[in-house]
Structure 1
Amino acid sequence: MKDTVRKFMPLDPIDMEHFEGWLEAMAQKGLFFERTWALGIVFRRGKPAPVRYRLDPAGNLWGQENRDYCRALGWEYGGNVGKYFDLYVNRDPEAPELHTDPVVQSYALEQVTKRAKRTCILLTIFSLAMLVLIFLPFFLLSAPILYQLVENPVGGNLLYLVLEILSTSVTIRAYLSFFRLRRRLREGEPPRRDGSWKSVARRQRAVSWIVLALCILYLGSLFVTSSRGWEGQLEGLDKPVPTLSLAELEGNPSLEPLVDGRWVDGQDRNNYVYFNCTPVAPEQYEITQWLTDGGDYEPHLVTRWYRLFLPFLATPLLDELVYQYTQHYCFPEEYDVEEVSLPGFDRAVLATNTEYPGQRLFLQKGNVVVYLSYSGNQDLTSRPELLEELTAFQN
């Protein structure tokens, strides 16, 4: 059996009472503080004993006279713990306390209190700044749901917000515990070193496990979303895609796919499909179709198709798509925008270009949202059966 054991710190040393209580409980189990390490404490195994541990501001008792006095009382310097404290150890249960006057001890914590207050202020400012940075795009962007949630590859902002709230709450709780202790000391009440540290440690462990699970979820979503994306040419594609066939919409057999030089790496990007996956929208397609009659008529159709994991985002996403792709509120003369009634759909918005032949149709059915941008002579709403097939697509 190894002589030493490494344990994560379930408590912040700034929470003095509970941290000291935890160390003493470890000694009762035969684990004695030896030193700190990057993530916690190194304990040395031994026979269980009622060892006392006390935290004192770092450097406060470093004078030779103070050290001699502490040794005379049976208190030995154990090492530095955290950024605020030195640890003192006493193995004699009958020896007097390191501090016998609570009021005097409260004055000894004055410098730590000032530094702790500055840390809390900076932590609060940092947290507020991060919240502003996370939420600011929702006020500045014209389509925050589309860009920040639906098309965000990992949903990192929301996850970071949850992690920030959890970690900050744990830290603030520890600092508040320290401030309460100092207030009681100034009132003449001695520290309480009972078993209450257990409930605090359980809460902090729970938060730590939640943070770990969220980090794993974040990395997992990053891997899944990056690995599931694909793209390919429509001709000869061996995967089903939610396509409204432009050739079928036009109904003109003389039309052929337009190949006008948009070939990249041997792929016809005029007739192409992109698939993307995010946690909020696990299925996203962008499909481009372009036909020509060999003359002046070249109908063009772009389909953006979204299946949302959170159905309640479907309506606001449709509204953002309407705003984003018509700019109706900025240039109302460019499109005639109207809500239309199409059987089988929860919502349908049709935008007709006032200068050129073409339409933009926005559809919602359940958690599926579709945007169609069409340039041609046909009417998108004249073929409702094709639209129903589009929204009923199942991969």
Structure 2
Amino acid sequence: MKRKDTVTRQIPCPCYDVEACESWLTDQAARGLFLEQWGLYTARFRRDIPRVVRYRITAARLKGSVLFSAPSAPGEEETDLYAAAGWEFVCSWQEFFFYCCRDPHAPELHTDPAIQAISLKMAVRTAVSNFLAQLMMLPVIVSRSFWEFPFSSLVEDPLLCLLYLLFCLSILLLAGRNLYSIFRFRHRLRQGLPPRHRKDWRPIARIHRLLVNLARCSAGLLFLLLLGSVLLPSRATQLSNYHEPLPFATLSDLAEGTLVPDEDLGRNTIDLRHTLLAPAIYHYYESGQITQNGQVILDATMAVTYYNTRFSRLAQQLAGELHETHEPYADLPEPLPTLPGIDAAWAYRSENGAFRQLILCKDSRVMSVFWTDSEHTTDFQQLVPIFADIFSNAQ
């Protein structure tokens, strides 16, 4: 079988570690692989007869900033000057330019370390801006994730949250590694020390590849999970098809009479699932009327969110978030009677009383009832003890 003329290799170290990259490329040339293109994670090489080839990396001499893009190639004057000295431009990546030289007697591109340190101005500023951008984003990610409610998201999708956090953390560590490498290299040059063109790149490669693979794997799995959540059918079941006992009150528990469900089937569903942090999660929606002797005594819609978590502290954090879910509809605090067996309880209502929310917490369980009764068919305060009693005694 004929060998390919080109081959792709995973990049073992970032361009910001100039000495390690130059050493790696020189070692690849000794194995018959000569750089053609440098990419984000991989580099493409051309196969040829192994020979000694020196590689050098320079940086564009422009102001580094996230608002300014680096040139795709060095200027014509610079290219001609280096070519006259025996150095051939190979490719570029961001603000870095790659040169190679096959003449062992050709002079170095840079003979003055202090001047070379000045030429790294754009690379240093770009590394700083990238790191600060990632550093400022991490607290936002940790506190809010990319959902509005971090604790609810953590309980509902712990694997999704973990993958996203790993991805962001690995990107931050890569940016920090780039910043450290370019600062250390510039410090060496400022001291008047020449670059180490034969630096041992292997220890650096282990760390870099670990972080890169962590970022790539977490991003890939994250994409698959998000895609699955979009493509997979809904887990919701019609209430008419669900006959298991529930750990919270339903419309039938709140008043005696005949339940007449809403004709809209989408308003009478239950979604039961479990995650690593919550053995039971219910999303319950019920809309209908309770009638007695042909008279409507209760006409309401209720949405119940119920969590049986593994930690009581987590349940308390969830309780604080659940109010924010419906805050625009029920944002006025409402006093509650004493509710035996309940660790904590909160109630809110809208100004006209059509919307209500009750949040109950006991041990590691928490639930939120969002109630709509636009006709005011019943006093919600009278229903609160029923909700609390059934929730408190549920297993």
The residue that corresponds to 2:67 in the other structure is none
In the alignment, is the contact (CA less than 8 A) between 1:232 and 1:273 conserved in 2? yes
1:369 positional shift: 2.1
The residue that corresponds to 1:363 in the other structure is 361
| 1: CA distance, partners of 2:174 / 2:218 | 16
The residue that corresponds to 2:335 in the other structure is 336
Q: 1:314 to 1:217 in 2, by over 3 A?
A: farther
The residue that corresponds to 2:291 in the other structure is 292
Choose which of 43, 46, 53 in structure 1 pairs with 2:45.
43
Q: Mark the runs of 5 or more structure 2 residues left unpaired by the alignment.
A: 60-73, 372-377
Q: Superposed, which structure 2 residues align to 1:102-121 within 5 Å?
A: 104-111=112-119, 113-121=120-128
Q: Superposed, which structure 2 residues align to 1:190-209 within 5 Å?
A: 190-209=194-213
TM-score under structure 1 length normalisation: 0.72
Once the two structures are overlaid, the 10-residue window that deviates more, 209-218 or 239-248, is 239-248
Q: Does 1:82 align with 2:93?
A: yes
| 1: CA distance, partners of 2:107 / 2:29 | 18
Q: 1:237 to 1:5 in 2, by over 3 A?
A: same
AA at the equivalent of 2:47: R
Q: SS at 1:209's partner residue?
A: helix
**CA deviation digits over 1:61-108, x for unaligned, max 9?**
73645522x23xxxx415123133433333455x2551573xx24314
| 1: CA distance, partners of 2:327 / 2:336 | 8
The residue that corresponds to 2:9 in the other structure is 7
Q: 1:26 to 1:241 in 2, by over 3 A?
A: farther
| 1: CA distance, partners of 2:304 / 2:216 | 39
The residue that corresponds to 1:180 in the other structure is 184
The residue that corresponds to 1:321 in the other structure is 322
Q: 1:137 to 1:165 in 2, by over 3 A?
A: closer
Q: 1:86 to 1:245 in 2, by over 3 A?
A: closer
Q: SS at 2:335's partner residue?
A: strand
Q: Superposed, which structure 2 residues align to 1:170-319 within 5 Å?
A: 170-226=174-230, 227=232, 229-237=234-242, 244-248=249-253, 250=255, 252=256, 255-259=257-261, 262-264=262-264, 267=265, 269=267, 271-274=268-271, 283-288=281-286, 290=288, 291-293=290-292, 294-298=294-298, 300=300, 302-308=303-309, 312-319=313-320
Q: 1:190 to 1:331 in 2, by over 3 A?
A: same
The residue that corresponds to 1:22 in the other structure is 24
In the alignment, is the contact (CA less than 8 A) between 1:339 and 1:348 conserved in 2? no
Choose which of 104, 108, 111 in structure 2 pairs with 1:98.
108
In the alignment, is the contact (CA less than 8 A) between 2:14 and 2:178 conserved in 1? yes
Share of identical aligned residues, percent? 24
| 1: CA distance, partners of 2:142 / 2:238 | 38
In the alignment, is the contact (CA less than 8 A) between 2:23 and 2:198 conserved in 1? yes
Q: What number of residue pairs does the alignment pair up?
A: 362
The residue that corresponds to 1:31 in the other structure is 33
Once the two structures are overlaid, the 10-residue window that deviates more, 45-54 or 274-283, is 274-283
1:205 positional shift: 0.7
Q: SS at 2:78's partner residue?
A: coil
Q: 1:314 to 1:244 in 2, by over 3 A?
A: same
AA at the equivalent of 2:335: D
Choose which of 332, 346, 349 in structure 1 pairs with 2:345.
349
In the alignment, is the contact (CA less than 8 A) between 2:25 and 2:55 conserved in 1? yes
Once the two structures are overlaid, the 10-residue window that deviates more, 80-89 or 196-205, is 80-89
1:263 positional shift: 2.8
| 1: CA distance, partners of 2:370 / 2:296 | 19
AA at the equivalent of 2:186: R
1:323 positional shift: 7.3
**CA deviation digits over 1:29-81, x for unaligned, max 9?**
3322234456532223344444322223444973645522x23xxxx415123
The alignment yields a C-alpha RMSD, in angstroms, of 4.4
Q: Does 1:67 align with 2:105?
A: no
| 1: CA distance, partners of 2:303 / 2:6 | 65
Q: SS at 1:62's partner residue?
A: helix
In the alignment, is the contact (CA less than 8 A) between 1:228 and 1:277 conserved in 2? no
1:201 positional shift: 1.4
